[in-house]
Amino acid sequence: MSTIDSPGIRYAISTKNGFDSPALHRALIYVGVVEKDQAFEWLEKGFEERNLSQITVNSVYDPLRSDPRFADLLRRMNLQP
């Protein structure tokens, strides 16, 4: 069983009361289990929703900062990497 298949992670990602977790919340889960590709997939969804204000200041995203996709995302948000 991979880390992402663990019951705790599945529960955290699952919907509750018919509402999906925000994209940013899901990205955080994938950062936490070192699934960078999945984290960036959800960050892209957050970008489309215009809901990424925390990524520039929250240290939980530090593992992604060295990835070129993170710098690209910041540029598209009109921020300097």
Domain ranges of the chain: 3-76
pLDDT in tens, 4-50: 555 555 555 554 544 355 787 788 888 877 889 999 998 998 888 88
Average of per-residue pLDDT across 52-57: 78
pTM above 0.75, yes or no: no
**pLDDT (0 to 100) of residue 49:** 81
Residue-by-residue DSSP string for the chain: --GGGSHHHHHHHS-BTTBPPPHHHHHHHHHHTT-HHHHHHHHHHHHHTT--GGGGT-GGGGGGTTSHHHHHHHHHTT---
Give residue 72's pLDDT band: very low, low, confident or very high (50, 70, 90): very high
